Structure 1
Amino acid sequence: MRIINGPGQDGTAGKAGSQFSGTAFPYLTMASTDGVTINTVNFTPGARTYWHHHENGQILQILAGRGLIHADGEDNPRVLNAGDTVWCPPGERHWHGAATDSFMTHTAVSLGLTHWAEPVEESDYTKTPELRKE
């Protein structure tokens, strides 16, 4: 057994051009240990990750708020609520973040390397019927 003490960090605002669009506050909970990295991320409304995939998959546990997740090849993003858990299989290209009208906090357990790609286009983000502005 190993106890990994929290790093005592204040969180770093993710900015456009890194791995997020909008403002997100990632807290590294556990740096890669045996190929596992854990982050808790607070997303402001509309903030989201870039497209990415994980070598050995990812588990997301939604702690608060309302968010979205979208796997490449699906028609529309899906809504996430506090208490939901998501399994993203190895190699599945996806993004996740807050809804336009809500903050969202999740803990992400990433297995193996994370491979980051391009930002999510606004038109892809707003494909969710509840987010469309008529």
Structure 2
Amino acid sequence: MVKNERLKTEQLFTVGEPNVAYQDFFVGQSYLSMLVNEPDVNANVGNVTFEPGCRNNWHIHHDGYQILLVTGGEGWYQEAGKAAQHLVPGDVIVTKDGIKHWHGATKDSWFSHIAITAGTPEWLEAVSDADYDVLTN
């Protein structure tokens, strides 16, 4: 059974289009709706929606940060060397400059968050199926 399937069409912010610009850095399908993308503002704000099982690769934000505001579904967040955190609506994650991390949906739920991002991302390796498959709520 897939949980939170309504997130693919019903959200506070628009789901957006398939995230083709970053598809090489995701396992599975994600959707992106840029909410703030102003050249004179030093942060981007986007609504990112993940289908069940979708997650982004490990990555680092250089000369910046990332704040995740969880708005729907269930997901995961993990920093290198630490246990994965189960995420639900209302959770807030602050990733500081230079921290290797990933985030994405649980295996059986859609997941959505607002990402407030500054700096330059460095995309790294995918989260392996073996590492992802051991995660349980």
- Kindly provide the CA deviation profile for residues 21-71 of structure 1, in whole angstroms up to 9, marking residues without a partner as x: 101111122225432111111101000011111121110000000000110
2:36 counterpart of 1:30: yes
Q: Percent identity?
A: 29
Q: Which residue in 1 is equivalent to 2:77?
A: 69
2:92 counterpart of 1:85: yes
The answer to which of 112-121 and 26-35 deviates more is 26-35
Q: State how many pairs are aligned.
A: 122
Q: Which residue in 1 is equivalent to 2:68?
A: 60
- Kindly provide the CA deviation profile for residues 87-116 of structure 1, in whole angstroms up to 9, marking residues without a partner as x: 011110000000011100000001111111
- Kindly provide the CA deviation profile for residues 63-82 of structure 1, in whole angstroms up to 9, marking residues without a partner as x: 000000110111x3110001
C-alpha contact 1:15 1:24 (8 A) present in aligned 2? no
Amino acid across the alignment from 2:121 = T
C-alpha contact 2:58 2:127 (8 A) present in aligned 1? yes
The answer to which of 44-53 and 8-17 deviates more is 8-17
C-alpha contact 2:68 2:116 (8 A) present in aligned 1? yes
| Alpha-carbon RMSD | 2.2
Q: In the TM superposition, what are the counterparts of 1:1-134 in structure 2 within 5 Å?
A: 10-14=16-20, 18-31=24-37, 33=39, 34-55=41-62, 56-74=64-82, 76-130=83-137
Q: What is the TM-score when the length of structure 2 is the normalising length?
A: 0.79
The answer to which of 93-102 and 15-24 deviates more is 15-24
Give 5+ residue unaligned stretches, structure 2: 1-13
The answer to which of 12-21 and 111-120 deviates more is 12-21
Higher-helix-fraction structure = 2
